């Protein structure tokens, strides 16, 4: 740990408008990892000043998704017994409960002439925008109200006394010079003041805009590092100017690169899932999502790709965050999930897949545990996402439907397949219970085939297909051994007999 320790305070400041986007969880994760790495404090603040975008239950949902993934907060909004509580000394941490703070701070700015009332009607602003667009100029407020005298302002304000809607307040930005943003990821970016708009700080309903609220709160909550998506970079010079207007020291800024689809467009719903909830519902493990999301824009500069949360905390730092967009590679996520799944014991995996099997209409309680575990043992190699379990294993539970043609091995014909299956049944009937373990049945069948001088494929192909109903499936030995555990030899034979009947 370096000398940042103790002083680091990060925050995640979502606007709860619905599902948790992969991009949001990445921001939350990086803020969390950075805070933990430096023994700092991680704050959760809810930015709900845009009341029209508010969604009921979104905060609870967001926190529970983050908790599932292991992203924790030390201060701010937490869930206690399913209910939202606020903890820490600098709250309330829900912006709609902090309106007084913003309104009082705006008054200070107005007094210091760093902000001003704007009385322009929306019609005038529309007109202005149209004119500027026609002249190919960037749409900006022309600062008309900034030129009003104190008397004119007082006069106009008095007209609003009985009105519910008040005039907005705008930030009075310097007209000349420039502001340099020193970003911990993107380096120094210089912004010409001439191109910055006198943005609104306080809206006519008394609510702050994002810009005012974020600066006031980050200051009052003593945030040391503002970590957020790169879409906020253009707002940062305005924030820095606001800090200066208040006479406050600005925090450190670290913006995170965009997350991209494989075709390098911005990650969007159109090309697949983007909500963390969807990935969890499909059976991606939370710890895999954590590992995967950590690598979206952060590069440990080693070969290591698999990280526990503790390793991430230990190794994470903002210096290793890339500027260039991070491609969301679903193949890599699938690979990683499969790998994590294979590391689980069969018992653990069975617990994990059980809800998916039930959802798929398979009543777990109807089947012997050793049968279920045998299926897991066979299928875990191929499993990448838990929800695939139903598609991969349904043939174990119900006699499969299939096209008779696939029973016939490429070098044989239907009569041969039928004859071989009949003698297999005879042979299986001569075996005893102990012979139905995978390795034993493999050995027994193979030596019987050799003794009979059959072509191996002419026996094993139709046998395997009769058991699985699939052109490609696990070996007949694995299948016999597993199916035997659900009702004994009769289950195995009944499938082979069904195949024989189909071949008639």
Residue ranges binding ligand GLU (CB under 6 A): 13-15, 47, 214, 228, 232
Measured from the CB atom, is 256 or 376 closer to ligand GLU?
256
Catalytic residues: 269
Measured from the CB atom, is 42 or 491 closer to ligand GLU?
42
Structural tokens at position 68: 């599932």
Measured from the CB atom, is 198 or 218 closer to ligand GLU?
218
Residue appearing with tokens 């590092």? 225
For residues 245 and 109, the answer to whether their CB atoms sit within 8 Å is yes
Measured from the CB atom, is 228 or 418 closer to ligand GLU?
228
Measured from the CB atom, is 28 or 362 closer to ligand GLU?
28
**Smallest distance from the beta carbon of 41 to ligand GLU, in angstroms?**
16
**What is residue 254's three-state secondary structure?**
strand
d(CA 274, CA 166): 39
**Smallest distance from the beta carbon of 215 to ligand GLU, in angstroms?**
9
**Smallest distance from the beta carbon of 94 to ligand GLU, in angstroms?**
12
C-alpha to C-alpha distances, 503 to 187, 318, 403, 420, nearest whole angstrom: 72, 66, 10, 12
Beta pairing class for 187-192 and 178-183: antiparallel
Going by C-alpha positions, the residue among 71, 113, 107 that lies closest to residue 245 is: 113
**Smallest distance from the beta carbon of 182 to ligand GLU, in angstroms?**
17
**Smallest distance from the beta carbon of 210 to ligand GLU, in angstroms?**
6
**Smallest distance from the beta carbon of 465 to ligand GLU, in angstroms?**
54
Structural tokens at position 138: 């960037």
Find the farthest-apart pair of alpha carbons in the chain and give their distance in angstroms, rounded. 111
Residue ranges in 136-268 assigned as alpha helix (H): 150-159, 210-220, 236-246
Half-sphere exposure of 280 (CA within 13 A, CB side): 19
**Smallest distance from the beta carbon of 323 to ligand GLU, in angstroms?**
18
**Smallest distance from the beta carbon of 24 to ligand GLU, in angstroms?**
7
Measured from the CB atom, is 17 or 387 closer to ligand GLU?
17
d(CA 228, CA 189): 16
Secondary structure string (H, E, C) spanning 372-415: HHHHHHHHCCCCCCCCHHHHHHHHHHCCCCCCHHHHCCCCCCHH
Residues 6+ apart with CB under 8 A from 295: 305, 326
Measured from the CB atom, is 95 or 393 closer to ligand GLU?
95
Residue appearing with tokens 């606020």? 86
Angle at 112 between CA 108 and CA 114, to 5 degrees: 95
Structural tokens at position 124: 């005038």
d(CA 30, CA 323): 14
For residues 109 and 60, the answer to whether their CB atoms sit within 8 Å is no
Kindly state the DSSP code that residue 298 receives in the 8-state scheme.
B
Structural tokens at position 40: 């700092």
d(CA 376, CA 370): 10
Long-range contacts of 301-307 (CB under 8 A, 24+ apart): 305/336, 306/336, 306/339
Kindly state the DSSP code that residue 95 receives in the 8-state scheme.
G
């Amino acid at each position: 740990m370096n000398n940042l320790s103790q002083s680091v305070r990060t925050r995640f400041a979502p606007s709860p408008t619905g599902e948790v986007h992969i991009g949001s969880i990445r921001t939350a994760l990086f803020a969390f990892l950075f805070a933990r790495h430096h023994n700092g404090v991680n704050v959760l603040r809810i930015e709900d000043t845009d009341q029209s975008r508010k969604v009921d239950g979104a905060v609870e949902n967001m926190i529970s998704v983050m908790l599932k993934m292991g992203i924790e907060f030390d201060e701010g909004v937490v869930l206690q017994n399913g209910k939202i509580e606020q903890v820490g000394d600098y709250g309330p941490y829900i912006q709609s409960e902090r309106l007084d703070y913003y309104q009082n701070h705006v008054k200070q700015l107005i007094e210091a002439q760093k902000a001003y009332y704007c009385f322009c009607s929306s019609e005038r602003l529309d007109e202005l925008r149209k004119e500027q667009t026609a002249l190919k100029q960037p749409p900006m407020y022309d600062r008309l109200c900034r030129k009003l005298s104190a008397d004119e302002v007082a006069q106009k304000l008095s007209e609003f006394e009985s009105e519910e809607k008040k005039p907005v307040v705008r930030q009075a930005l310097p007209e000349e010079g420039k502001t340099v943003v020193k970003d911990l990821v993107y380096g120094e970016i210089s912004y010409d003041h001439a191109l910055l708009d006198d943005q609104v700080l306080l809206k006519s309903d008394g609510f702050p805009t994002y810009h005012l609220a974020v600066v006031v709160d980050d200051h009052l909550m003593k945030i040391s590092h503002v970590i957020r998506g790169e879409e906020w970079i253009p707002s940062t010079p305005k924030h820095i100017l606001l800090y200066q207007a208040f006479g406050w020291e600005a925090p450190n800024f670290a913006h995170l690169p965009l997350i991209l689809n494989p075709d390098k467009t911005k990650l969007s719903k159109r090309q697949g899932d983007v909500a963390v909830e969807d990935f969890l519902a499909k059976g991606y493990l939370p710890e895999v999502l954590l590992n995967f999301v950590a690598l979206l824009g952060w590069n440990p500069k080693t070969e290591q790709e698999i990280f526990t949360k503790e390793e991430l905390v230990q190794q994470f730092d903002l210096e290793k965050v890339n500027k260039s967009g991070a491609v969301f590679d679903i193949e890599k996520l699938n690979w990683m999930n499969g790998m994590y799944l294979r590391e689980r014991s069969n018992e653990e995996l069975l617990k994990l897949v059980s809800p998916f099997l039930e959802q798929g209409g398979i009543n777990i309680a109807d089947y012997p545990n050793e049968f279920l575990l045998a299926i897991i043992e066979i299928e875990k190699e191929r499993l990448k996402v838990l929800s695939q379990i139903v598609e991969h294993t349904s043939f174990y539970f119900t006699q499969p439907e299939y096209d008779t043609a696939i029973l016939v091995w490429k070098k044989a014909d239907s009569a041969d397949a039928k004859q071989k299956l009949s003698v297999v049944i005879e042979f299986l009937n001569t075996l005893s219970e102990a012979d139905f373990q995978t390795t034993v049945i493999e050995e027994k069948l193979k030596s019987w085939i050799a003794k009979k001088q059959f072509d191996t494929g002419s026996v094993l192909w139709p046998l395997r297909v009769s058991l699985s109903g699939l052109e490609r499936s696990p070996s007949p030995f694995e299948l016999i051994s597993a199916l035997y555990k659900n009702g004994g030899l009769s289950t195995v034979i009944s499938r082979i007999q069904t195949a024989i009947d189909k071949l008639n």
